[in-house]
Homo-oligomer: A and B are copies of this chain.
Amino acid sequence: MTVTLADVAARAQVSPATVSRVLNGNYPVAATTRERVLRAVDELDYVLNGPASALAAATSDLVGILVNDIADPFFGIMAGAVQSEIGGPGGRAGGERLAVVCNTGGSPERELTYLTLLQRQRAAAVVLTGGAVEDPAHAAAMGAKLRRLGESGTRVVLCGRPPAPDTGAIALTFDNRGGGLRLTQHLLALGHRRIGYIAGPEERTTTRHRLEGHRAALSAHGITDDPHLTLHGPYDRRSGYDAALELLRRDPDLTAVVAANDTVALGACAALRDRGLRIPADVSVAGFDDLPFSMDAVPALTTVRLPLQTAGARAGRIAMGREDAPPGGIATVQGELMVRGSTGVPDPGRGGA
């Protein structure tokens, strides 16, 4: 069978208790004894039994990171940052933690399931990234689950997600609304008036907030938003492509398209190009997030940069108790408007009067 603590103890001629203490390093052990134990551990290739120690100690070294789509760099970057602050040899000595990322695929049920699984494992902390689903039933279920997690000692941190009131969860929220606002303001300042908007999936906080910002900018400019110029779709390239085509059909005189995120924006660019339109001469395009590839797009994409890396890292530190929570448990993280080549002044021959 597998090697147990007792085997190591026998070989090192000490009691199991001593071996445990050497391994955990939380109790004085004479240097010579420690040495003997470590040698035995090595010789026997002993690996601690995680479940057993978690059970006995009533703690676990698991930290969960929930993401909507692991194939999307938006989440990958955040998850990587969180993980770098938490797990493996990344952290300081001591608690070797297993930072794991769970892919919900944006499904509310999977989200809940993963949370239960993590709760079952008595995870030390959980970091939830990305927008939340706005369905009231699901929100309530999530709230309850998060509260229970918190009560049972799991630290809960929301990263790039709106606060969950009364759950004790710490929130690092992106100012999606402000970002959307500034982006559309930029377009308006350039002179655009007929702006198509390719929104994310419905019933998502991120989608709603970005769209709200867009509309706020519009109405501040005295422009009544034409609902026909807003389309919803998933956060993928295809969605942007199709939506751009549809927007063009609905209003051939469009001079700008704002997309829910950079990936969608790139899809929209492809569609516009396929239609023979130049960017930004004929139509300006803007994205959101400023993922690494956006800078290399042709032309480079105007977008709102979200500090994914730093926010993720901060969430990780808070989850590890290595950084204090923001006052009130909520912090808003601003995005920064990055003006690049994909937006320009509208062609007077289009759209205008």
- Taking beta carbons and an 8 Å cutoff, which residues of A are in contact with B? 2, 45, 47-52, 54-55, 60-62, 64, 69-73, 75-77, 79-80, 83-84, 87-90, 96, 98-105, 107, 109-110, 113-114, 116-122, 148, 152, 236-237, 263, 266-267, 269-270, 273, 292-293, 295-298
For A120, what are the chain B residues with a Cβ–Cβ distance below 8 Å? 47-50
Q: Which of B79, B96, B267 contacts A117 (CB 8 A)?
A: B96
Instruction: Indicate if the CB atoms of B98 and A101 lie closer than 8 Å.
Output: no
Instruction: Indicate if the CB atoms of A79 and B70 lie closer than 8 Å.
Output: yes
Using CB atoms, name the residue of chain B closest to A57. Answer: B51
A319: min CB distance to chain B, Å: 15
A189: min CB distance to chain B, Å: 27
A54-B121 Cα distance, complex, nearest whole Å: 10
Instruction: Indicate if the CB atoms of A292 and B117 lie closer than 8 Å.
Output: no
A320: min CB distance to chain B, Å: 16
A99-B69 Cα distance, complex, nearest whole Å: 14
The 13 listed contacts between A and B (C-beta, < 8 Å) are A50-B51, A50-B117, A51-B60, A69-B76, A69-B80, A70-B79, A70-B83, A83-B102, A84-B103, A89-B107, A98-B118, A266-B293, A298-B298
Identical copies in the complex: 2
Instruction: Indicate if the CB atoms of A103 and B79 lie closer than 8 Å.
Output: yes
Among A55, A61, A69, A273: residue with most chain B CB under 10 A: A55
A35: min CB distance to chain B, Å: 21
Q: Which of B49, B50, B64, B89 contacts A109 (CB 8 A)?
A: B89
A215: min CB distance to chain B, Å: 28
With A79-B103, A101-B103, A267-B296 given, name 16 new contacts (CB 8 A).
A47-B120, A48-B120, A49-B122, A51-B54, A70-B79, A70-B101, A75-B76, A87-B103, A88-B114, A96-B113, A96-B117, A98-B114, A98-B117, A98-B121, A237-B293, A269-B296
Instruction: Indicate if the CB atoms of A70 and B60 lie closer than 8 Å.
Output: no
Instruction: Indicate if the CB atoms of A88 and B110 lie closer than 8 Å.
Output: yes
Among A49, A70, A96, A107: residue with most chain B CB under 10 A: A70
Instruction: Indicate if the CB atoms of A121 and B293 lie closer than 8 Å.
Output: no
Among A87, A117, A148, A298: residue with most chain B CB under 10 A: A117
Instruction: Indicate if the CB atoms of B293 and A47 lie closer than 8 Å.
Output: no
A129-B230 Cα distance, complex, nearest whole Å: 40
Instruction: Indicate if the CB atoms of B102 and A99 lie closer than 8 Å.
Output: yes
Known interface pairs A51-B54, A71-B80; A113-B101 also in contact (CB < 8 Å): no
